[in-house]
Chains A and B, each alone.
Chain A
Amino acid sequence: MNMLREQVRADLLAFSRRPETLFFTVFLPVIFLVLFEAIFGGQTVTLASGDVVAQSFLQVPAFMVMGVISASFVALAITVVNRRETGTYKRVRGTPAPAWVLIAGQVVTSLVIALLMVLVMLALGSFAYGVRVELDHLPWLIAVVLIGAIAFSCLGMMLAALTPSTEAAPPLANVVVLPLYFISGVFVPIESLPTWLGNIAEWLPVAPFVKVATWAYVPATTTPWNSLGLLIAWGLVGLLIASWRFRWTPRRG
Chain B
Amino acid sequence: MTPAISVTGLLKRYGDRNVVDGLDLEVQQGEVLAFLGRNGAGKTTTTEILEGYRERDGGEVLVLGQDPATAGADWRAKLGIVLQESRPLGALTVRETLRLYAAYFPHPRGVDEVIALVGLEEQANQRAGRLSGGQQRRLDVGVALIGNPELVFLDEPTTGFDPDARRQFWDVISGLRDLGTTVFLTTHYMDEAQVLADRVAVMRDGKVAALGTPAELQALRGDVEIRFVLPTGLALDALPQLSKPTLLTGGEVRVETTAPTADLAALCTWAEGRGLELEGLTVERPTLEDVFLAIAGDHAEVDA
Spell out A's residues near B (CB within 8 Å).
2-3, 5-7, 9-10, 13-14, 17-18, 83, 86-88, 90-98, 101, 249
Contacts and interface: CB of A to CB of B under 8 A. Distances in A.
Given A87-B85, A91-B86, A96-B76, A6 B100 contact: yes
B104 A86 contact: no
Contacts of B236: none
* Interface of A: prevailing SS: helix
B100 A91 contact: no
Interface stretch (B89-97, B199-207, B209-217, B221-229): B89-97
Residue among B53, B77, B89 having the largest count of chain A Cβ atoms under 10 Å? B89
A93 B105 CA distance: 12
Given A7-B100, A10-B100, A87-B83, A94 B52 contact: yes
A204 B106 CA distance: 44
B91 A6 contact: no
Given A9-B100, A14-B89, A96-B106, 13 more contacts: A6-B100, A13-B91, A17-B127, A87-B83, A91-B83, A91-B86, A92-B104, A94-B79, A95-B81, A95-B104, A96-B73, A96-B77, A98-B73
A44 to B, nearest CB: 45
Nearest to B88: A88
B15 to A, nearest CB: 15
A90 B86 contact: yes
7 contacts: A10-B96, A13-B91, A14-B91, A83-B89, A92-B104, A96-B73, A96-B104
Nearest to B153: A94
Contacts of B101: 95
Contacts of B53: 90, 93-94, 249
Given A14-B91, A86-B87, A98-B73, A91 B143 contact: yes
Given A94-B51, A94-B79, A96-B77, A3 B103 contact: yes
Closest 3 CB pairs between A and B?
A87-B86, A6-B103, A96-B73
Interface string B220-250: 0000000000000000000000000000000
B99 interface: yes
Contacts of A87: 83, 85-87
B89 A88 contact: yes
A14 B88 CA distance: 11
Nearest to A86: B87
A17 B86 contact: no
Contacts of A88: 86-89
B49 to A, nearest CB: 13
A13 B103 contact: no
Contacts of A94: 51-53, 76, 79, 81, 83
B81 A10 contact: no
Contacts of B85: 87
A17 B105 CA distance: 26
Counting chain A CB atoms within 10 Å of each CB, the highest count among B51, B73, B77, B91 belongs to: B91
